[in-house]
């Protein structure tokens, strides 16, 4: 199974990708996580990407396609994958199609997760993730705001989840990423899921979409 989870920042792609990954036994490939890892490790990529992430802008298409090329060719993706946060532009979508054609593979389904903008801003302003297990929480749902209820690790807010950067990320989404939906609609791969409901409901709806592709 090769899936793309598509949607604006804060819609819950990361949360759902982790759940789908555990159930389907295929890896979650989050380009945002890969970039944050590179920043923490202070690699050449991380140093180049830091200011871009902090400003809510997009890392260049050629860098992103290069990262995805390496990941898709790796052993971990041999039985499938869930792309989370890629592609984010039309050139990235075209690059992915080209790359998959070279590998003789195809995407089974693109799930577009949809919520209204007020809810997105509310979720982004209140989310926290665990430095250890990577799980994401709505900060209002947990008692001890610093400790992960899943593994006890340290919880922290992402640097780019502040009001100015959130605004910029949503503008970038509308301008550069939203058009990617049409790209997949045209080739008949797009399924839409209402992501406004509970985590469990959204997971169920995603499975319904996958099974009816």
Which residues make up the interface to ligand AMP (CB under 6 A)?
9, 31-32, 35, 52-53, 56-59, 64, 85-86, 88, 92, 160, 169
123 assigned to active site: no
Dihedral (CA of 127, 132, 135, 137) sign: negative
Q: How far is the CB of 176 from ligand AMP (least distance, A)?
A: 9
Point out the residue whose Cβ comes nearest to ligand AMP. 32
Q: How far is the CB of 108 from ligand AMP (least distance, A)?
A: 20
Catalytic residue among 13, 18, 36, 123: 13
- Contact between 87 and 37 (Cβ < 8 Å): no
- Helices assigned H by DSSP within the chain: 13-24, 31-41, 44-54, 61-73, 90-103, 117-125, 163-172, 179-186, 199-211
127 assigned to active site: yes
Q: How many angstroms separate the Cα of 82 from the Cα of each of 61, 126, 148, 150, 164?
A: 19, 25, 24, 22, 29
- Contact between 129 and 182 (Cβ < 8 Å): no
169 assigned to active site: yes
Closer by beta carbon to ligand AMP, 27 or else 32? 32
Closer by beta carbon to ligand AMP, 98 or else 204? 98
Q: How far is the CB of 53 from ligand AMP (least distance, A)?
A: 4
Catalytic positions, written as ranges: 13, 88, 127, 158, 169
């Amino acid at each position: 199974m090769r899936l793309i989870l598509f949607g604006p920042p804060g819609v819950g792609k990361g949360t759902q990708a982790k759940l789908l990954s555990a159930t389907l036994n295929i890896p979650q490939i989050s380009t945002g996580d890969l970039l944050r890892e590179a920043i923490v490790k202070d690699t050449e990529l991380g140093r180049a990407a830091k200011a871009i992430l902090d400003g809510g802008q997009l890392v260049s298409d050629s860098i992103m396609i290069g990262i995805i090329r390496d990941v898709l060719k790796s052993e971990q993706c041999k039985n499938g994958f869930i792309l989370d946060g890629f592609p984010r532009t039309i050139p990235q979508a075209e690059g992915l199609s080209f790359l998959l054609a070279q590998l003789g593979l195809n995407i089974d389904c693109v799930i577009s997760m949809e919520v209204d903008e007020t809810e997105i801003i509310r979720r982004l302003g209140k989310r926290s993730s665990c430095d250890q297990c990577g799980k994401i929480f709505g900060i209002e749902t947990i008692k001890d705001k610093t400790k992960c209820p899943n593994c006890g690790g340290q919880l922290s807010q992402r640097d780019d989840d502040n009001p100015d950067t959130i605004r910029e990320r949503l503008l970038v989404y509308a301008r550069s990423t939203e058009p990617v939906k049409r790209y997949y609609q045209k080739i008949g791969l797009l399924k839409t899921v209402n992501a406004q409901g509970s985590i469990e409901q959204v997971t169920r709806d995603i499975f319904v979409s996958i099974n009816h592709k």
